[in-house]
Structure 1
Amino acid sequence: MQQVFDGHNDVLFRLWTLSLDGRDPVAAFRDGDGAGHIDLPRARTGGLAGGLCAIFVPSEGGLVVSHPATDGAYVTPMAEPVAQPQALEIAKAMFGIAHDIEAGGGWQLCCSTAEIRGAMAAGRFATVLHLEGCEPIGPDLAELETFHAAGLRSLGPVWSRHNIFGHGVPFAFPMSPDTGPGLTEHGFALVRACNRLGIAVDLAHITEQGFWDVARTTDKPLIATHSNAHALTPVARNLTDRQLDAIRESRGVVGLNYATTMLRPDGLDDAATPLSDMVRHIDHLVARLGIDGVALGSDFDGATIPRAISDAAGNQALIDALKAAGYGDDDLSKLCCDNWLRVLGEAWHEGAANDTGRHQAA
Structure 2
Amino acid sequence: MTDLIPVFDGHNDALLRLYQSKDADPVARFIDGLPGGHIDLPRARKGGLAGGMFAIFPPPLETPGTRRAMNVADEVPPELARADALAPTLGMASILMRLERASDGAFTVCRSAGAVCAAMEKGSLAAVFHIEGVEAVDMDLVLLDVLHAAGLRSLGPVWSRPNAFAHGVPFRFPATPEIGPGLTEAGKALVKACNRLRILVDLSHLNAEGFRDVAKISDAPLVATHSNVHALCGHSRNLMDWQLAAIRDTGGLVGLNFATGFLREDGRMGADTGLDVMIRHLDALLEALGEGGVAFGSDFDGATVPAAIGDASGLPKLIEAMESAGYGRELIEKIAWRNWVDVLERTIG
- Quote how far apart the aligned CAs of 1:88 are: 1.2
Q: Secondary structure at the match of 1:172?
A: coil
Return the alpha-carbon distance in structure 1 between the equivalents of residues 70 and 211 of structure 2. 26
Distance 1:66 1:252 in 2: 30
> When the two structures are aligned, how many residues end up with a matched partner?
341
Please name the residue that 1:27 is paired with.
Answer: 28
User: 1:114 offset after TM fit, Å?
Assistant: 1.1
Distance 2:34 2:346 in 1: 36
* SS at 1:75 equivalent: coil
**In 2, distance between residues paired with 1:295 and 1:216?**
24
**Cα deviation code 1:296-315 (max 9, x no counterpart):** 00000000000000000101
Consecutive unaligned residues of structure 2, counting only runs of 5 or more, are: none
**Contact 1:65-1:171 at 8 Å conserved across structures:** no
Return closer, same or farther for 1:102/1:225 CA change in 2, 3 Å cut-off: same
Match of 1:89 among 87, 90, 97: 87
The answer to whether the 8 A contact 1:66-1:76 is kept is no
In structure 1, runs of 5+ residues without a counterpart are 68-73, 351-362
Residue 86 of structure 1: CA displacement? 2.1
Contact preservation (8 Å) 2:114, 2:345: no
Taking the aligned partners of 2:222 and 2:133, their CA distance within structure 1 comes to: 17
CA distance in 2, matches of 1:259, 1:183: 26
For 2:160 and 2:314, the matched residues in 1 are separated by 28
Aligned partner of 1:3 in structure 2 is: 6
Contact 1:8 1:226 in 2 (8 A): yes
Matches of 2:262 and 2:205 in 1, distance apart?
Answer: 13
Q: Is residue 145 of structure 2 the alignment partner of residue 145 of structure 1?
A: yes
Query: Which residue of 2 is the match for residue 360 of structure 1?
Result: none
Cα distance change, pair 43–76 in 1 and its aligned pair in 2 (3 A): farther
Return the TM-score normalized by structure 1.
0.92
**Cα shift readout 1:271-319 (whole Å, capped 9, x = no counterpart):** 0000000000000000000010000000000000000000001011111
- Residue 118 of structure 2 is aligned to residue 104 of structure 1: no
Instruction: Provide the residue aligned with 1:317 in structure 2.
Output: 317
Q: Is contact 2:69–2:76 with CA below 8 Å preserved after alignment?
A: no
Match of 1:38 in 2: 39
Counterpart contact for 1:260–1:270, Cα < 8 Å: yes
- The Cα offsets for residues 193-235 of structure 1, whole Å up to 9 and x where unpaired, read as 0000010000000001100000000000000000000000000
Mapped partners of 2:327, 2:74: distance in 1: 37
SS of residue paired to 1:205: coil
Q: 1: distance between equivalents of 2:24 and 2:236?
A: 36
| TM-score, length basis structure 2 | 0.96
Secondary structure of the corresponding residue to residue 217 of structure 2: coil
- 1:305-345 deviation line (CA, Å, top 9, x unaligned): 00000000101111110111111111011101111111111
- Does the aligned pair in 1 maintain the 2:70–2:77 contact within 8 Å? no
Q: 1:202, 1:75 → 2: CA distance?
A: 23
Change (3 A) 1:305 1:178: same
Amino acid aligned to 2:97: H
Give the superposition deviation at 1:76.
Answer: 4.8
Percent of counterpart pairs with the same letter? Answer: 51
Q: Distance in 2 between matches of 1:182 and 1:321?
A: 38
Equivalence for 2:78: 80
Map 1:291-306; keep pairs closer than 5 Å: 291-306=291-306
Tell me the equivalent position of 1:53: 54
Which residue pairs with 1:180 in the alignment? Answer: 180
Q: 1:75 deviation in Å?
A: 1.2
Question: Which residue number in structure 1 is paired with residue 15 of structure 2?
Answer: 12
Structure 1, residues 110-155: CA drift from partner, whole Å, max 9, x if none?
A: 0011111111111110000100001010100000000001110000
Deviation at 1:34, TM superposition (A): 2.2
Q: Distance in 1 between matches of 2:67 and 2:27?
A: 26
User: Could you tell me which residue of structure 2 aligns to residue 70 of structure 1?
Assistant: none
Distance 1:64-1:340 versus aligned 2 partners, 3 A rule: farther
- Measure the CA separation in 2 of the matches of 1:142 and 1:293: 33
Partner Cα separation in structure 2 for residue 277 and residue 292 of structure 1? 21
Paired residue secondary structure (1:216): helix
Q: Give the whole-Å Cα distance in 2 for the aligned partners of 1:111 and 1:190.
A: 19
Runs of 4+ that moved beyond 4 A: 62-67
Distance in 2 (CA, whole Å) between partners of 1:85 and 1:107 is 30
Q: Distance in 2 between matches of 1:88 and 1:10?
A: 17
Separation in structure 2 between the aligned mates of residue 143 and residue 263 of structure 1, nearest angstrom: 36
Q: 1:197 to 1:7 in 2, by over 3 A?
A: same
Q: 2:168–2:205: 8 Å Cα contact kept in structure 1?
A: yes
Map of 1:272 onto structure 2: 272
CA distance in 2, matches of 1:66, 1:249: 34
Task: Tell me the distance in 2 between the aligned counterparts of 1:268 and 1:65.
Answer: 18
CA distance in 2, matches of 1:64, 1:297: 27
Q: How far apart are 1:22 and its partner, in Å?
A: 5.0
**What pairs up with 1:149-160 in 2 under 5 angstroms?**
149-160=149-160
User: 2:252, 2:67 → 1: CA distance?
Assistant: 30
